[in-house]
Structure 1
């Protein structure tokens, strides 16, 4: 049976555009802060390296700590979300991210930074189970593609905002002021969500007695497509980690890019990625082509990475190429999320997204250890070639999800759709 029949079914009654837009906007705002918080430290590596007298590999280990903790929390938080609902979990996550940013700002040693990276990882781990549960349960079916698009756009904007804000404030004041401002922003967004908390409430559906494995607490783990999605996000995370932490600096070394343009590379990548997701939201309206959209997007991104590794370009051209790579990757975003939705049994959104997106955290935890060492040894071309290789692997992973999708288990009879 096709996995389409096992996806969580949004409410069948008419839902107004205003109601859908309210949910999508609030979830997107929270998602922006999650991604914003993931990228607070990487743009500050040159300053932190000098402040704490550490290597790039040691700074990369801070990211590893963050994502290892986030991975563990993400896999567990999916069960908590399905049991207690997403709203209180979302508020707790935002609070921890705000506290962690303020903690970074007052840190006086590398190990203090590491401790607050643990706190930030706990806060970050709740977002994907929370966000996709809210979207799949509260947004009407005709607007799901656009909901995924907005969700991805706000994430990319969060990534774009982080280097733009913290680098600017660091140049103007100090890295401590920059990180304190990031904490204030997280709490400001939390206040907005608390004011509109009624839009984030869902009805908890109790489990069905005697339901088969696909609807039990752990039965979804028997669905092969769930694990293919996990593998896809693991590879996707390595791509993200390289782009965020190392590719701009590698390109600077290879193409003699001025330091002021390096932070622009990442910001331009993320802004263009958000633009690509707008187009990707329309392309995702046809589920039958989502694998082809993912393949085309990451195929173009891999070509750009190869050009950066092997070509020779003037400094001004490097941010442009990062923009093209970001736009191509962004087009694939909504179709990527649709692949996961089609692998999700009824009433298991939190659990499935928690496990699948744990692959994202594991990849981002491992990647800095590998590519940070490559950077320390001056293998800048190898970093960009590795980026292109992983983008190529993503194409094969997307089509493998399609290949195994039909082996999913059918939902339990009488299961109440979310």
Structure 2
């Protein structure tokens, strides 16, 4: 049974570098805000813990709420993107993220924070189906590796920007002012995208009707590699969650790192990850080796995490190790995206990326519940050892994707 496309196919004529770069830049800017919004609360945990008299586990639960909602929306939004096109869905997602940031800022109770975490999760859930549909359909195939690289770089820069912007604003003014600044940034990016909306247009056609069409739209779920990609991103999300929310503090406690220096670890990790993705974009030019690149990059990251758990280092070495870990993980980024691209039917991008990246949200929802409790019990070494173990599982799952992959051009 063949898939029925509701979006225009990739252009047959050569696409100019300027046109490709415009799409990459706009999609990357939106991706940056998505990742930025994922870390609106984590850098402010010390302020929120005191303001609302809650534990790390309770604060981690806010992240769980966010990612559970995002997961559900992400899986469904892929179908909506394939039906209506990515542009209106992207604009709606950015609007909700901006509103949620302002909602956080005016919250007067833990449960208000939880309610706006739901709103933020709804907004965040649309980005991967939207972004990858735009990249895969509007960027010329020879530049896809670089497009994935730009997409990953801007995401990492969004994560790096969150603590770099929010923490100084919270110190100078308050955590509420910091979150208002975050909401303002989201709406500024929305304006930029709206002014360039023509570059984000994909023509939609009337969908096929009837039971056969419904069955066709779900046929991609029968592809084993899709579910192996889902598992891969589940473990990848746990790695991300630990690095973002808990690893810097765990390393600070183990190696007696000053607070200001420890606060730089995440930003250094993300900036170095962005640099690694530049290199990874060139390496991803050969799709046949993407699993080996993923294994090598995350393998180095696992060694560094193990050293942080078991070694003894001067305080200044810890941010350097986070930088090495980020760079090596960044190299694996574009090849990671190719794992999904090689398992995706050409006309089902939104649906496949929505389901596969739901694994990302589920992992980020589960991880704070486990590692937040470990942090509350001062199991700092265990947090870093858990990070090492998860990186090992991640490498194994990448090779499982290759093992089960088959060309998904049609389903019988």
The TM-score by the shorter chain falls in which range?
over 0.9
The answer as to 2:402 corresponding to 1:396 is no
The answer as to 2:290 corresponding to 1:290 is yes
- Give SS of 2:217's match: coil
The answer as to whether partners of 1:68 and 1:362 remain within 8 angstroms in 2 is yes
Distance in 1 (CA, whole Å) between partners of 2:29 and 2:230 is: 25
- 1:281 alignment partner in structure 2: 281
- 1:58 alignment partner in structure 2: 58
- 1:338 alignment partner in structure 2: 338
Distance in 1 (CA, whole Å) between partners of 2:177 and 2:84 is: 37
The answer as to whether partners of 1:214 and 1:412 remain within 8 angstroms in 2 is no
Distance in 2 (CA, whole Å) between partners of 1:367 and 1:312 is: 26
- 1:3 alignment partner in structure 2: none
Distance in 1 (CA, whole Å) between partners of 2:410 and 2:271 is: 39
Question: Shift in Å at residue 261 of structure 1?
Answer: 1.2
Indicate how the Cα distance of structure 1 residues 301 and 236 shifts in structure 2: closer, same or farther if over 3 A, else same.
same
- 1:4 alignment partner in structure 2: none
Cα deviation, 1:75-105, whole Å, max 9, x if unaligned, reads: 0000000000000000000000000000111
The answer as to whether partners of 1:214 and 1:410 remain within 8 angstroms in 2 is no
- 2:102 alignment partner in structure 1: 102
The answer as to whether partners of 1:20 and 1:139 remain within 8 angstroms in 2 is yes
- 2:359 alignment partner in structure 1: 359
Note the 1:92-241 alignment, pairs <5 A: 92-206=92-206, 216-241=216-241
Indicate how the Cα distance of structure 1 residues 86 and 297 shifts in structure 2: closer, same or farther if over 3 A, else same.
same
- Give SS of 1:257's match: coil
Cα deviation, 1:61-82, whole Å, max 9, x if unaligned, reads: 0000000000000000000000
Indicate how the Cα distance of structure 1 residues 214 and 281 shifts in structure 2: closer, same or farther if over 3 A, else same.
farther
Distance in 2 (CA, whole Å) between partners of 1:318 and 1:150 is: 27
Cα deviation, 1:236-287, whole Å, max 9, x if unaligned, reads: 0000000000000000000011111122000000000000000000000000
Cα deviation, 1:88-129, whole Å, max 9, x if unaligned, reads: 000000000000000111111111000000000000000000
The answer as to whether partners of 1:215 and 1:411 remain within 8 angstroms in 2 is no
- Give SS of 2:399's match: helix
Using structure 2 for the length normalisation, give the TM-score.
0.96
Distance in 2 (CA, whole Å) between partners of 1:31 and 1:211 is: 35
- 1:39 alignment partner in structure 2: 39
Question: Shift in Å at residue 216 of structure 1?
Answer: 1.3
The answer as to whether partners of 1:39 and 1:162 remain within 8 angstroms in 2 is yes
- 1:310 alignment partner in structure 2: 310
Question: Shift in Å at residue 213 of structure 1?
Answer: 9.2
The answer as to whether partners of 1:32 and 1:156 remain within 8 angstroms in 2 is yes
Note the 1:246-261 alignment, pairs <5 A: 246-261=246-261
Distance in 1 (CA, whole Å) between partners of 2:211 and 2:324 is: 48
Structure 2 stretches lacking a partner, 5+ long: 1-7
Indicate how the Cα distance of structure 1 residues 52 and 382 shifts in structure 2: closer, same or farther if over 3 A, else same.
same
- 1:301 alignment partner in structure 2: 301
- 1:91 alignment partner in structure 2: 91
The answer as to whether partners of 1:346 and 1:411 remain within 8 angstroms in 2 is no
Distance in 2 (CA, whole Å) between partners of 1:363 and 1:58 is: 17
- Give SS of 2:332's match: helix
Question: Shift in Å at residue 204 of structure 1?
Answer: 2.0
- Give SS of 1:313's match: coil
- 1:15 alignment partner in structure 2: 15
Structure 1 stretches lacking a partner, 5+ long: 1-7, 414-418
Question: Shift in Å at residue 346 of structure 1?
Answer: 2.4
> How many corresponding residue pairs?
405
Indicate how the Cα distance of structure 1 residues 260 and 369 shifts in structure 2: closer, same or farther if over 3 A, else same.
same
Question: Shift in Å at residue 10 of structure 1?
Answer: 3.3
Distance in 2 (CA, whole Å) between partners of 1:151 and 1:10 is: 19
Indicate how the Cα distance of structure 1 residues 215 and 300 shifts in structure 2: closer, same or farther if over 3 A, else same.
farther
Using structure 1 for the length normalisation, give the TM-score.
0.94
- 2:4 alignment partner in structure 1: none
- Give SS of 2:30's match: helix
- 2:380 alignment partner in structure 1: 380
Distance in 2 (CA, whole Å) between partners of 1:53 and 1:412 is: 54
- Give SS of 2:285's match: coil
